[in-house]
Amino acid sequence: MYRREDDSIRRQHQTCELMDFTQAELLSRCERLAGFSFAELADLLQMPLPATTTQGKGWIGQLIERALGAYAASKPIPDFPHLGIELKTLPVNAKGLPSESTFVCSIPLMTIKHERFETSTVYHKLKRVLWFPIEADKSIPFAKRRLGNALLWSPQEEELAVLRTDWEEAVDMIARGEFAKITAHFGQVLQVRPKGASAKSLTEAIDEDGQRVKTMPRGFYLRPDFTHKILQQHYSLTV
DNA sequence: TACTGATCATTC
DNA sequence: GAATGATCAGTA
């Protein structure tokens, strides 16, 4: 099977360092990727498929970054710095609903109390997000899962208000040294969960008595309900 | 079965 | 070890 667009997709990741493409071109690149299976895209970019789904965590996200010409991988800047756009894959189940939470950013437990929501990493990460739905249903073999139709999103005022409430609640608790009391049950849409290599990973924090202690690194995650509503908004606008 | 807490791969 | 990219898998 050969598509006329295949060469242009190969070229996309070769021209990545120029970073001269426009937002319109980025969206056009996304359209050309829609419908490809993981295996087809891996073949085009000459990337090996992961042996197991466990080993494939993050793999499709990095593959799509390459296909789109993002080069900021593992740097604390947006995926497309010249456009201020963050790329996020969004795994969806057989019903088209997000099947997982979305990692936003890690939490600097020692310093976040000095931040305001408007200057926070959460705010900047979510200002402009290019959501790329991908099939994640466990009944579909990994290699056969396909890419969906990407959508560019920015939070509405109401969404920002809820995010701010959740963010401030978490930061208030961290500022009081109550990070250990924060469970994934907190937060309407933005939750705090462990984010580390394992439960043995440790980072510094200040506890309720003002003592320096070691604790699990934490991160902010978006609940699936929140990303579901983003997809719904988009569909209602495009149908 | 949805959700929380834990974990996996790669890069720097 | 900490940043990037996330999903796994046991349990409530």
Region at A122 (left for phi over 0; alpha for psi -120 to 50; beta for the rest): alpha
Superfamily of domain A6-238: DNA mismatch repair MutH/Restriction endonuclease, type II (3.40.600.10)
Helix or strand holding residue A68 (H, E):
helix A59-68
Nucleotide nearest to A97 (CA to C1'): B2
- List, chain by chain, residues whose CB lies under 7 Å from nucleic acid strand C: A 53-54, 56-58, 60-62, 64-65, 72-76, 79, 86-89, 91, 100-103, 105-106, 108, 132, 134, 136, 138, 195, 197, 201-203, 217, 219, 221
Cα A51 to Cα A210: distance, rounded to the nearest angstrom:
46
Amino acid at A37: S
Tell me the average pLDDT of chain A.
91
The residue ranges of every structural domain in chain A are 6-238
Cα A230 to Cα A238: distance, rounded to the nearest angstrom:
13
* Mean per-residue pLDDT, A145-162: 97
Q: Give the pLDDT confidence of A75-89 residue by residue, as tens digits.
A: 778 889 889 999 999
Residue A8 has pLDDT above 70, yes or no: no
Q: Give the pLDDT confidence of A165-211 residue by residue, as tens digits.
A: 999 999 999 999 999 999 999 999 999 999 999 999 999 999 999 99
Question: A130, A150 in Cβ contact below 8 A?
Answer: yes
